[in-house]
Structure 1
Amino acid sequence: MTKTIAIIGSGFSSLAASCYLAQQGNKVTIYEKNLTIGGRARQFKKDGFTFDIGPSWYWMPDVFERFFQDFDKKPSDYYELIKLNPAYRVYFGINDFISIYDNLEEIKAVFEEIEKGSSKQLEKFINQAKSNYSIAIKDLIYRPGVSPLELITKKTVLKLNQFFNNVSSDIRKKFKNERLIQILEFPVLFLGAKPAKTPSFYNFMNYADFGLGTWHPKTGMFDVIRGIEKLALELGVTIKTNSSIEKIIVENRTATGIIVNGKTIKADIILSGADYQHTETLLEKEHQVYSQKYWESRIFAPSSLLFFIGFNKKIENISHHALFFDVDFNQHAADIYDNPKWPEAPLFYANFPSKTDQTAAPDGMETGFFLIPLAPGIEDNETLREAYFEKIITRFEQLTQQEIRNNIIFKESFCKNDFEADYNAYKGNAYGMANTLLQTAFLRPKLKSKKVRNLYFTGQLTVPGPGVPPALISGKLAAELIQKSLRS
């Protein structure tokens, strides 16, 4: 029987869920508060320059392939992928960087040159990470977080100790060079927590990095949003932008509709891909599952200060993706998680998509995206933003040995206040809730409301967690729960 389903938000998880729900024959409509779709993965264009506002790393290509395969499609039916080589560079000093290549053999050679014997250790470490990746993808990550029993399989029992050890300690047992350690700790930052607080099992992210490689959709991550949007439309989904949700209507403990721009829209099922905490504020207090105290007790992934910059020349001595670890890695992490404050000396990330995609900038020019991870809930104002831009642009010029400050055509910033305004993000978080031991799987906020029938959630604050591939999976899991309820 066809049901009317209203989906709040148009990020990766919402778009993915819409496809699965429409495939089952339901009448699905997405309501997006902003003028364009994509949520955190929106696109920004100015004066011939194109930017991905949010995600810019395409990892775990097998998850994207599995998503499209569910509809008898392939990613290549909707967008073209380019494998980056080098995948990225990590800068430690003036013209002092380590390049991570697109194959493990070259990466092993780089490690061995820096630390004798480390290539063999790396091969063992990545083999273990590959095993964990296989278990995560085949046995764990596609489970809905309903019961702790989901984590117990023949394979996971053998790796039980890895849920109680942490990534940082495991890496430091195998490697001594601090630069190599930081490179290996970097991938789990995508999960939103310090490596010392992330269960060892999550080293599968190192296989995602060194084993599966870093890819780039031909004209940016928004290609993927456009691709899933096209699939959704082919399946009959309706998408309405500039549609702000003001309330979720509940009658007899059952969600029956939403109020959009002052208009009541009836629906049999409500699925929210918007920020989970914000979504519950659309309900009367008696229908909210998680209290303010609960949200305040959670460990959130960082917010970010972003800069979108158009340069009137090509930038030298730089790769498509670049990480700047020339300052104290641990101190910056402490400034995010232990004693939240603006870091005195921030690590930062730079992305120059026009190195790969010539259409991202006018001829002879460069598109630049800079990111500083910050504690969520931190003070945000223009004075601080400008001060931190000066910090990182000065270091960028020193580390890459070039002057670029006078070649800036324009500069736009985006920070905690914007995450709150544009995405209703709790404390202005950029990546959702961290995947710590006590915030993993069934310990995360649930996909299905415990208090309101026919109300569901998807996205980075629920299972499986932060990141684009998990967002796709979250959409599938939510859709499967809905489909199960409709059959019962």
Structure 2
Amino acid sequence: MNTISIIGSGFSSLSAACHLAKEGFKVSVFEKNITVGGRARQLIKDGFTFDMGPSWYWMPDIFEKFFAAFDKKTSDYYQLDKLDPAYKIFFADDTITIGDCMDKICVEFERIEPGSAVHLKNFISKAQTNYDIAINKIVLKPGLSPLELVTKETVLRVDQFFKTISQEVRKRFKNPKLVSTLEFPVLFLGAKPSKTPSFYSFMNFADFGLGTWHPKGGMYEVIKAMRSLAEELGVTIQTNANVEKIVVTNGKAVGIVANGKTFNSDWVISGADYHHSETLLDKKFRQYSENYWNKKTYAPSSLLFYVGFDKELTNVNHHNLFFDTDFEKHAEEIYDNPQWPSMPLFYANFPSVTDKSMAPTNCETGFFLIPIAPDLEDTPELRSNYFNIIIDRFEKRTGQEVKNNIIFKESFCVNDFIEEYNSYKGNAYGMANTLSQTAFLRPNLKSKKVKNLFFTGQLTVPGPGVPPALISGKLVADLIINKH
């Protein structure tokens, strides 16, 4: 039987494990932490349940496709609810509420900028076409050749790879609030809207067209579902298994060393941070130099807070974006001139607003996220200072006092991303999807120097985010299956 060792147990690793096990491979997964999920871990404390990483469930079709490959449905494992409203955006002088369908969203756009609904419908229609091409054609390619991007559909849209999201949005919408609302989804791709190809407007269709969903119990339910499926298929999962080396003999990966013990296998896949994964190899087997990694554009890191409140909060939705400061300035402080933000935008997630199972009775589970540049100095004083900044603004914008209702607060930042996930420079979302880092221009799924060694996850193809991670796992599995 052909054996495979997989390093890490995030979405991409579990996806690869399931696809390979289905084809008869004997798969073993090695996870350094005590629980599976990689960055998508869970914190349970005093009856409060937090998703520690991803908290948005977008592109439900990708999850359905994943489970359908095994004759399963998402509903076999977890309950999925569409959020209405999907989310709320707080500005300095107003709020925008994004409903669960285009009709509601158009009404809101018209309220802010009369005449904008017709532009929105045209923009989202184009975004939908891009989504169909991206998800059904481009994203399913393994990034081996530039020719993968050349299809009859993309040739007709080649200009969209050289124009930016920012240009497309600003051409149609004048109100800065609407501009921010439409530019926000590409932040999940890890780059400034002015650096992201306009083809990626498909994220706007994912947002407005497909909606925002919530698995009851949180995003970790998806990890639990994938673990359960993997084990049903015969995958062995070891936690507390820190991989120290990828073993190479005669230019071929033949296993790994975890906790000092050697595990032999015919193939090795690493779903851990790509840069870290290459440090598990002797220098001569590494594809990319330190200089290569240092020059790349990374998605942001994050300062995260997990907060238990002893009362239910008012004037908030499940997902809330606080854009009551300068969007452009914060983006510059992440990408152009990396520093701690002077006036940070932030995101606040209260899953217990719609899912009472995630907090004790009459309490609220709060998750706060400030996007920041990777590789910043990270100290307890900075974390505390930024928590005070955002909680003051949160109280002001939502018209309520909450500071005295905090039962506990835990934080997670650059140092933790490095310590817990071996994340390069403490990035949170991998490598940005700029034009020069798209598709075949990203680090390879397949090692160019070591036979039978593969990589998967957010630093490789197709890119950052949970749905792309599921696809990345399938792509790497397909390379091995087809080669085999």
The letter of the residue matching 2:86 is A
The answer to whether the 8 Å contact 2:300/2:429 transfers is: yes
Query: Is residue 462 of structure 2 the alignment partner of residue 445 of structure 1?
Result: no
Written as runs of structure 1 = structure 2, the 5 A alignment for 1:12-411 is 12-93=11-92, 96-411=94-409
The letter of the residue matching 1:73 is K
The letter of the residue matching 1:312 is D
Identity %: 64
Counterpart-to-counterpart distance in 1, 2:314 and 2:92: 16
Summarize deviations over 1:337-391 as a string: whole Å, max 9, x none. 0000000100000000101111111000000000000000011010000000000
TM-score calculated relative to the size of structure 1: 0.99
Summarize deviations over 1:170-211 as a string: whole Å, max 9, x none. 100000000000000000110000000000000000000000
Please state whether the residue corresponding to 1:187 is helix, strand or coil: helix
Counterpart-to-counterpart distance in 2, 1:45 and 1:78: 20
Counterpart-to-counterpart distance in 2, 1:374 and 1:357: 29
Please state whether the residue corresponding to 2:311 is helix, strand or coil: coil
The letter of the residue matching 2:358 is A
Q: 2:412 aligns with which of 411, 414, 417?
A: 414
Cα displacement (A) at 1:138: 1.0
Cα displacement (A) at 1:147: 0.3
Counterpart-to-counterpart distance in 2, 1:138 and 1:46: 41
Counterpart-to-counterpart distance in 1, 2:72 and 2:274: 30
Counterpart-to-counterpart distance in 2, 1:61 and 1:52: 18
Aligned to 1:9: 8
Counterpart-to-counterpart distance in 2, 1:398 and 1:355: 20
Aligned to 2:475: 477
Gaps of 5+ in 2: none
Counterpart-to-counterpart distance in 2, 1:386 and 1:249: 43
The letter of the residue matching 2:36 is I
The letter of the residue matching 1:135 is I
The letter of the residue matching 2:51 is D
Please state whether the residue corresponding to 2:39 is helix, strand or coil: helix
Counterpart-to-counterpart distance in 2, 1:219 and 1:356: 10
The letter of the residue matching 1:441 is A
Please state whether the residue corresponding to 2:416 is helix, strand or coil: helix
Aligned to 1:432: 430
Counterpart-to-counterpart distance in 1, 2:123 and 2:139: 21
Summarize deviations over 1:280-333 as a string: whole Å, max 9, x none. 000000000011000001000000000000000001110000000000000000
Summarize deviations over 1:199-228 as a string: whole Å, max 9, x none. 000000000000000000011000100011
Please state whether the residue corresponding to 1:39 is helix, strand or coil: coil
Counterpart-to-counterpart distance in 2, 1:364 and 1:109: 33
Counterpart-to-counterpart distance in 2, 1:69 and 1:265: 32
The letter of the residue matching 1:270 is V
Please state whether the residue corresponding to 2:91 is helix, strand or coil: strand
Q: Which aligned runs of 4 or more in structure 1 are off by greater than 2 angstroms?
A: none
The letter of the residue matching 2:26 is K
The answer to whether the 8 Å contact 2:92/2:325 transfers is: no
Counterpart-to-counterpart distance in 2, 1:416 and 1:272: 22
Counterpart-to-counterpart distance in 1, 2:135 and 2:315: 37
Counterpart-to-counterpart distance in 2, 1:264 and 1:14: 20
Cα displacement (A) at 1:63: 0.5
Please state whether the residue corresponding to 1:283 is helix, strand or coil: coil
Cα displacement (A) at 1:93: 2.4
Gaps of 5+ in 1: none
The letter of the residue matching 1:320 is H
Q: Say how many residue pairs are matched.
A: 484
Counterpart-to-counterpart distance in 2, 1:210 and 1:147: 32
TM-score calculated relative to the size of structure 2: 1.00
Summarize deviations over 1:88-110 as a string: whole Å, max 9, x none. 0000026x311000000110011
Summarize deviations over 1:245-268 as a string: whole Å, max 9, x none. 000111111011111000011111
Please state whether the residue corresponding to 1:56 is helix, strand or coil: coil
Please state whether the residue corresponding to 1:306 is helix, strand or coil: strand
Counterpart-to-counterpart distance in 2, 1:142 and 1:226: 25
Aligned-residue CA RMSD (Å):
0.5
The letter of the residue matching 2:171 is K
Please state whether the residue corresponding to 1:385 is helix, strand or coil: helix
Counterpart-to-counterpart distance in 2, 1:29 and 1:454: 15
Summarize deviations over 1:74-121 as a string: whole Å, max 9, x none. 111111101000000000026x31100000011001101111110000
Counterpart-to-counterpart distance in 1, 2:247 and 2:11: 25
